[in-house]
Chains A and B, each alone.
Chain A
Amino acid sequence: MYTASDLRKGLKIELDGVPYEVVEYNFVKPGKGQAMYKCRIKNLITKTTQDRTFREVDQIGKPDLEYRTVNYSYFDGHKYVFTDLRTYEEFSLDEATLGDARHFLVDDVEVSLLFHNGRVITLEFTKPFVEKEIVETEPGVRGDTATNVTKPAKIDTGYELRVPLFINKGDWVRIDTRTGEYTDRVSKG
């Protein structure tokens, strides 16, 4: 268990069986009253945030969390399979757990899995940017290098994102896996 005085930005805690991360933290102490910690906490499963005030005497759960570095191996038709290259242990994750991250998986890409009570709750790419080929978009406008006007485009996995007008089908682009957004064009060859 943690006590409120352990709280700080970045600390991962557990409330009612749900893991949270402290994203904002303020020490407050009204008048002659007790010390309190006004926090904004992020639910690590749903990613939503909420405000929560802890008292000095509150006991706060310590989540059973573990990170593992693994590499993406293959899709078995139902699940995405990752391998720990040191132990050759395999982990199969379904679409719901991966969310949009599944669109950015390429062979052997290294990711970090966050386990809560032995169950994977988050996947983070070790290198946050991936390169993907655009397989579908309206023809590009030559010479239009503006990046603030965008159009829809698709990558091979069917994921749709907004790209600048000058991007063509067959171009490779860099995508930020944390936001799922276009970053820049990659020159290939």
Chain B
Amino acid sequence: MSQERADLRRKRPALELRACVLEEIRRFFHERGFLEVETPVRLRAPALEAHIDAEPSGTLYLRTSPELHMKRLLAAGYERIYQIGPCFRRGECGALHHPEYTMLEWYRANADYEALLSDMRGLLAAVGASPLNGSRPVRLDREWRIWTVSEAFRGWAGWDPVELWDENRFDRDLVEKIEPALPRDAVSILRDYPAPAAALARLKPSDPRLAERWELYLGGIELVNAYSELTDAAEQRARFERCARERAARGKPVYPIDEAFLRTLEEGLPPCAGAALGVDRLVMVLAGANTIEAVTAFQEFEPAPPAIPRMNP
């Protein structure tokens, strides 16, 4: 039997779990009155983010997230919507990353990030109760641990990024000190990020140094990012432009600003909140696997980068 055939047979329980999780997600949102939507996969203007690179597709780009189109639906009166579909991020390859992956995004109009936290509790309870989900190494029913970013950094990294922003130090300490300290067997939330660490989030009205953003970690693995969405057109344009300048300075491709989205904001977007969840990672954690490859039938690998010349003959 070929290696591929053997691998695919071995993956069957994981792929069945995956189907079951997708079914539970759809049931959960359907029961709460969310409408499942589909938005374009190929975009003229992928959301500008400092550290997310889009894959070109002809004269367009593959989406890195469906969020800008989702917000255009919200603005038109679709109050509760969700989408499950492929997203693409150039160059992201590792045990927890693949350039093509499955994302769940859901949005609520007239709600903020707190409301999404309660959606999240319900969703994890629903998925955790799914019958195929046998060996669960992470207790989904245990009390969630919630830290503000300030608390987490002061406790584990010895400084407060809200007091003094340092992007490089923040990213490095997050990976080296904060994430390894999060409990392996439970759900943890980091919330209230420093304002510069959230491109599309609303600032907290009571403290504009903070952005209304939370991230959920399942078994120490980052799974969900949620925002109270920024709805101010002028502020959004300023952030896009700042991001474009940052990308240009780093020698990264600069994508066009999504004018259709900015027009939507100008016309009016109700207060809203949205969350993005990596489906592959969720299935991976539920399956007790260590890589998303283990819960994905196929991975299409990019050609290896050019070989580095060997120094020795």
Binding site for B on A (CB under 8 A): 2, 5-6, 11-12, 26-36, 38, 53, 55-57, 63-68, 114
Select which of B49, B198, B222 is within 8 A of A30 by beta carbon. B222
Q: What's the Cα separation between A53 and B198 when bound, in Å?
A: 23
**CB under 8 Å from chain A, chain B span 184-238:** 197-199, 215, 222, 225
Interface: B76 (CB within 8 A): no
Q: What's the Cα separation between A56 and B251 when bound, in Å?
A: 12
B199 surroundings in chain A (CB, below 8 A):
32
Which residue from chain B places its CB closest to the CB of A65 in the assembled complex? B311
B142, chain A: closest CB distance, angstroms? 23
Q: What's the Cα separation between A30 and B250 when bound, in Å?
A: 19
Which residue from chain A places its CB closest to the CB of B198 in the assembled complex? A32
A176, chain B: closest CB distance, angstroms? 23
Interface: B51 (CB within 8 A): yes
Is A65 a contact of B312 with CB atoms below 8 Å?
yes
A6, chain B: closest CB distance, angstroms? 6
A5 surroundings in chain B (CB, below 8 A):
91, 305
Which residue from chain A places its CB closest to the CB of B51 in the assembled complex? A34
A114, chain B: closest CB distance, angstroms? 8
Select which of B93, B95, B176, B311 is within 8 A of A12 by beta carbon. B311
Which residue from chain B places its CB closest to the CB of A55 in the assembled complex? B168
A6 surroundings in chain B (CB, below 8 A):
305, 308
Q: What's the Cα separation between A27 and B51 when bound, in Å?
A: 14
Instruction: List 27 A-B residue pairs with CB atoms under 8 Å apart, sorted by A's residue number.
Output: A2-B308, A5-B91, A5-B305, A6-B308, A27-B93, A27-B97, A28-B96, A28-B175, A30-B174, A30-B179, A31-B197, A31-B222, A32-B51, A32-B52, A32-B225, A33-B51, A33-B170, A33-B175, A34-B51, A34-B167, A34-B168, A35-B91, A36-B171, A36-B172, A56-B51, A66-B312, A68-B312
Q: Given that A30-B171, A33-B170 are known contacts, is A57 also in contact with B308, CB under 8 Å in the complex? A: no
A155, chain B: closest CB distance, angstroms? 31
Is A31 a contact of B174 with CB atoms below 8 Å?
yes
Select which of B91, B94, B168, B311 is within 8 A of A26 by beta carbon. B94
Interface: B33 (CB within 8 A): no
Select which of A29, A53, A66 is within 8 A of B176 by beta carbon. A53
Is B311 a contact of A27 with CB atoms below 8 Å?
no
What are the interface flags for B247-283 relative to A under an 8 Å C-beta threshold, 1 for contact and 0 otherwise? Answer: 0001000000000000000000000000000000000
Q: What's the Cα separation between A67 and B311 when bound, in Å?
A: 8
A53 surroundings in chain B (CB, below 8 A):
172, 175-176
B97, B174, B175, most chain A CB atoms within 10 A:
B175
A32, chain B: closest CB distance, angstroms? 6
Is A29 a contact of B312 with CB atoms below 8 Å?
no
Interface: B141 (CB within 8 A): no
Q: What's the Cα separation between A11 and B309 when bound, in Å?
A: 11
**CB under 8 Å from chain A, chain B span 57-88:** none
Is B97 a contact of A29 with CB atoms below 8 Å?
yes
Select which of A28, A33, A56, A67 is within 8 A of B313 by beta carbon. A67
Q: What's the Cα separation between A29 and B90 when bound, in Å?
A: 13
B168, B179, B197, B311, most chain A CB atoms within 10 A:
B311
B251, chain A: closest CB distance, angstroms? 9
